[in-house]
Structure 1
Amino acid sequence: MSDSAVRGHDDASSPRSVRYREKLVPSPGVWLLVGVFGLACFAVGAPINIPVAIVVAVVLAAGLGLLLWSSSPVLEVTDRSLQVGRAHIEREFVGDVEIFRGESARQAAGPQADGRAFMNFRPWVSPLARIQITDPADPTPYWLTNSRHPEELARALGSEERGEDG
């Protein structure tokens, strides 16, 4: 699947109907840096042996790209649950969603963050969604995660999204 959200997937035969799915893959700028990394590896090895430098550069750049891709977390909302990376919670314990952009996102992720919160950050995605957790047995007050489409995430969770622009 692509890194964009999947919307409106309703398959009655599916045991879990996906309402929203997003993989937080690196932005085009990060992929450009992976290419620059490969060129730098080639430049270091080229004076010694050009064919070996090409192989090393391709292997290292591909390895870095694979690492970035495979470590990109998935946000998924189904009829029954919310998953953010490896964290998972039943939908009945999900409250309101608040959206932050710009300076307010920086404040929400830094000085105003609660140390008990679950946080899922990727530097190549700037909007944040703060998802309230209503489980009385869970000491985590909220989940704070990046999302390229936080309004769609909030709608999939059935929340009246509130936003703060900065």
Structure 2
Amino acid sequence: MDVPGAGALALRGGRTASAGGVVGSSPLRPVSGNSEDVVTSREPTGHRAAPRSWQAQFVTEPGNADEGLDGSVVAFHERVYAPWPAWLVSIVLTGSVAIAYGYPLGARVGIVTFVVGQGLATWWLIATAPLVVVDDLVFRAGRARLPLRYVSRIAPLDASQTREARGPLADPRAYLCTRGWTSRSVLVEVDDPDDPHPYWLISTRRGLELAPVLAAARDSAKA
């Protein structure tokens, strides 16, 4: 099944067995015990090996130009912004600073302080909101791009599964593009023996929509 349901996968430790025996340590094991749904892991080797296990660093090489390029046809686009309370807190904090400066120095100083401070806060909130995109060439999460030909199994995770996926049982080599303000995520297995990241864990509020769109784009790219 290409896109397991949100309840199809659960984090478990231990070894993962396949038809050929034990193939490696994996943080994912289906609740049903069906080995076909298990995301396995690999040793970090090849030209995509990164010095940090948590950071995707794809290097464009001849013959792999699409790894650094976005496609022209966008099938899914989401900016994972912070929730409205974070924006409200930024306004309260910058307003407090503006009052603290404006009261002794004058209204003009207070207004300038608020405008500059809120501008910086807004920039930070936008800059830290990762972009999740599926197009006709790559799956993009944050600044990392994964060519669609390397996308394998896809699973939308609910809040409890996402907490486990971020926990100590997760594979430390996984690429994480997660934000604490989003409780749900999508897990994408990487089917590339040269990639140091066995899977991606991506924060999204639209996981049930993203998973089938990404699966369709993957199938189209591999056709």
1:30 aligns with 2:86: yes
What is residue 43 of structure 1 aligned with on the other side? 99
Q: What SS does the aligned partner of 1:89 have?
A: strand
Deviation of the 1:71 alpha carbon: 3.4
Residues 63-116 of structure 1 show CA distances to partners (whole Å, capped at 9, x for unaligned) of: 111122133221111122111111011101111112222222111112222110
8 A contact 1:30–1:124 mirrored in 2: no
Provide the identity percentage. Answer: 29
Separation (CA, whole Å) in 1 of partners of 2:125 and 2:82: 7
Distance 1:50 1:123, change over 3 A: farther
What is the distance in 1 between the residues matched to 2:101 and 2:180? 30
Q: Does 1:114 align with 2:171?
A: yes
Q: For 2:200, give the aligned amino acid.
A: W
Q: 1:18, CA displacement in angstroms? A: 0.9
**Please, which of 138, 145, 160 is the counterpart of residue 103 of structure 1?**
160
Task: Output the CA distance in 2 between the equivalents of 1:94 and 1:141.
Answer: 11
Give yes or no for contact 2:154–2:215 (8 Å, CA) kept in 1: no
TM superposition outliers: structure 1 runs of 4+ over 6 Å: none
Larger RCO (CA within 8 A; separation ≥ 6): 2
Any stretches of 5+ residues in structure 1 without a counterpart? Answer: 1-14, 160-166
Distance in 1 between residues matched to 2:90 and 2:126, nearest whole Å: 12
Residue 130 (structure 2) aligned to one of 63, 68, 73: 73
Written as runs of structure 1 = structure 2, the 5 A alignment for 1:1-166 is 16-51=72-107, 52-158=109-215
- Looking at structure 1, the residues matched to 133 and 153 of structure 2 have their Cα atoms a distance apart, in angstroms, of 16
Structure 1 CA distance, aligned partners of 2:154 and 2:97?
44
Cα 1:130–1:53 shift into 2, 3 Å: same
Work out the CA distance in 1 between the residues paired with 2:209 and 2:159: 18
CA distance in 2, matches of 1:118, 1:34: 29
- TM-score calculated relative to the size of structure 2: 0.61
Q: Partner amino acid for 1:63?
A: L
Farther off after superposition, 82-91 or 33-42: 33-42
Output the CA distance in 2 between the equivalents of 1:112 and 1:98: 17
CA distance in 2, matches of 1:35, 1:101: 31
TM-score (norm. length: structure 1): 0.80
Distance 2:162 2:146 in 1: 23
Deviations 1:25-46 (A, max 9, x none): 2221111111111222123223
- Secondary structure in structure 2 of the residue aligned to 1:47: helix
Q: Distance in 2 between matches of 1:155 and 1:39?
A: 43
Q: Is the 8 A contact 1:23 1:72 kept in 2?
A: yes
